[in-house]
Chains A and B, each alone.
Chain A
Amino acid sequence: MDSENLNLLSLQPGDKVVLTDGAVVEITDNPGDGVWVFGRYLAHPDAAKVEAAEEQPIFAQDIQGVQR
């Protein structure tokens, strides 16, 4: 699945998504606006961002697809 076919409304907390920059994010909250979800980095090209473990807003078009 690529991002153009992904309706953000279908994402649930716990789902994992891969971003276009290679990062992997676990969804923590879906505000339901169809544009953003909140999540934590499980993997990121910049390791510091994973360690911070802070909730980040993730933009729809930055999501490559859902990690199965």
Chain B
Amino acid sequence: MTNLSSLVDLKNGTISREIFVNDEIFKQELGQIFSRAWLFIGHEDLVPNPDDYFVSRMGTDSVILTRDRQNKINVLLNSCMHRGMKVCRYDQGNTRAFTCPYHGWSYSTDGRLVEVPGELVGVPGFGPYYHEKLDKKNWGLIYCPKVVNYKGTIWATWDANAPDFLDYLGDMKVYLDAALDHRDGSPGGSEMIGGVQKWRVKCNWKFAPENFIGDMYHDISHRSVDLVGIGPSGGKGRRDKTIGRTTVSFDDLGHGIIGTLPYREEFPYQETFKNHPEIEDYLKEVYDRRLKNLGDRLRVNTSVGTIFPNMSFHGRQPRTIAVFHPISPTEMEMWRIFLVDRDSPQALKDAARHYYMRYSGPGGMTESDDLENWQYATEASAGHVARRYHYNYQMGMGYAEPVPELRGAWNNGEYSEGNARAYYKRYLEFMEGRDWDGLMAASRAHGEARSDA
């Protein structure tokens, strides 16, 4: 195992290019991070009915997200236990059993037939060839021991010892809630627009979560789209302004956001869809409901955020979830799904969908420029001499202030690399092979969550 402490130098705020290009370190990431951390798998709207499935990824592994006949959501390793063949080569659909096309082993999630998800139900020649001596219970598909549905988002970990998802999230929860809850402040209520954008980018996967965890400094990347103006209101810039914008990091957990500090009194109503009066009317009504629903309770606004290690989300406009699947040290597969409030009028869903696609994804006028930067930063960092040198993450070191309302949260100010430093601090803790007690000790020392957070 490579000792990374000299490569991730948090004291001086520098990080070696090796962690972005090196094969050995990449393999270590798969073992220490992707085999242990909570990973985003998909949205429950991808599997609305019993026997529905959606094929996702965890690290470099293909996994099947499936809703069984008892309505439980399972995550299975998509590889036959006999010779490793992919048991599901479709992207999504509905099936009662996953049958390997190679030798015919068949696996089920139906709780009436099996005791554990993905157990073997059909083995050709079980009587005549195996003489009934194959232990079917031990040769089912590997399944994730921990899976949660958090407000429609599905998360899983391979590690049975991993802490509960809410512990892993900590008070980052309030920022994730701001994206997943209804705009009127009631819990949940978002739905996924059908279809998942999936595309390959020749960059190290960490460029993306680092970008979304709190890099306001890269705003210049998007100068061209700011000049053109693609905002939802049809006006200047590229997105809604966030009043009171700052960056907040959760240094003991590796999560962070660009958004607001917690507040109790709603900001004045902002018109965001001036081109669409009927949408504006709905949004005003939602705003009034929000005032009533939230009262003087604590709330936040999230522009963008990252949940360690490879899931990011946009909480306002566009409202989307992105995942960065590692393929190799110099390639990732990026996914995007888009969210709207389930009960919003069709006109708003349509306008949002159009805005999301001209903003995000490979065709997004904003995101396309990020992809160029991440790709060529990776390429240029892979040079033999280039690798000797560290990237600079020193912006704003020593200027963070604690956020009293949230456990373990730091306000780094609008322009700072504090959030990136928090991310790589967590990265180092995982990569060192710390056990979960070691990984969670600092966060647990902050105590229980506030009841009103």
- Residues of A whose CB lies within 8 Å of any CB of B are 29, 31-33, 35-36, 38, 55, 57, 59-62
Contacts and interface: CB of A to CB of B under 8 A. Distances in A.
B106 A33 contact: yes
A33 B99 contact: yes
Q: Which 4 A-B pairs have the closest CB atoms?
A: A57-B122, A31-B96, A33-B99, A35-B99
A57 B121 contact: yes
B237 to A, nearest CB: 50
Q: Is the interface of A mostly helix, strand, loop or mixed?
A: mixed
B95 interface: yes
B81 to A, nearest CB: 16
Contact of B97 (A31, A60, A61): A31
B124 A61 contact: yes
A45 to B, nearest CB: 12
A57 B104 contact: no
Interface string B98-119: 0101001010000001000000
B105 to A, nearest CB: 9
Nearest to A62: B124
Q: Is the interface of B mostly helix, strand, loop or mixed?
A: loop
16 contacts: A29-B96, A31-B99, A32-B95, A33-B97, A33-B106, A35-B99, A36-B97, A36-B104, A36-B106, A55-B113, A57-B97, A57-B121, A59-B122, A59-B124, A60-B104, A62-B124
B95 A35 contact: no
Interface string B205-243: 000000000000000000000000000000000000000
A36 B126 CA distance: 14
A21 B101 CA distance: 24
Contacts, number: 33
Nearest to A29: B96
B95 A31 contact: yes
A60 B124 CA distance: 9
A61 B125 CA distance: 9
Contact of B104 (A29, A31, A35, A55): A35
Nearest to B51: A31
Nearest to B105: A35
Contacts of B124: 59, 61-62
A61 B124 CA distance: 8
Nearest to B93: A32
A61 B96 CA distance: 20
Contacts of B113: 55
A35 B96 contact: no
A26 to B, nearest CB: 17
A22 to B, nearest CB: 14
A29 B99 CA distance: 15
Contacts of B121: 57
Contacts of A36: 97, 99, 104, 106, 122
A31 B97 CA distance: 7
Contacts of A62: 124
Given A36-B122, A60-B104, 18 more contacts: A29-B96, A31-B95, A31-B96, A31-B97, A32-B95, A33-B99, A33-B106, A35-B122, A36-B99, A36-B106, A38-B96, A57-B106, A57-B121, A57-B122, A59-B122, A59-B124, A59-B125, A62-B124
Nearest to A30: B96
A62 B128 CA distance: 11
A28 B136 CA distance: 23
A62 to B, nearest CB: 8
Contacts of A59: 104, 122, 124-125
Contacts of B101: 35
Contacts of A61: 124
Interface in B300-347: none
Most buried by B among A29, A36, A38, A55: A36
Nearest to A33: B99
Contacts of A33: 95, 97, 99, 106
A46 to B, nearest CB: 11
Nearest to A38: B96
Contacts of B125: 59
A42 B106 CA distance: 23
A33 B101 CA distance: 9
A44 B104 CA distance: 23
B174 to A, nearest CB: 43
Contacts of A32: 95
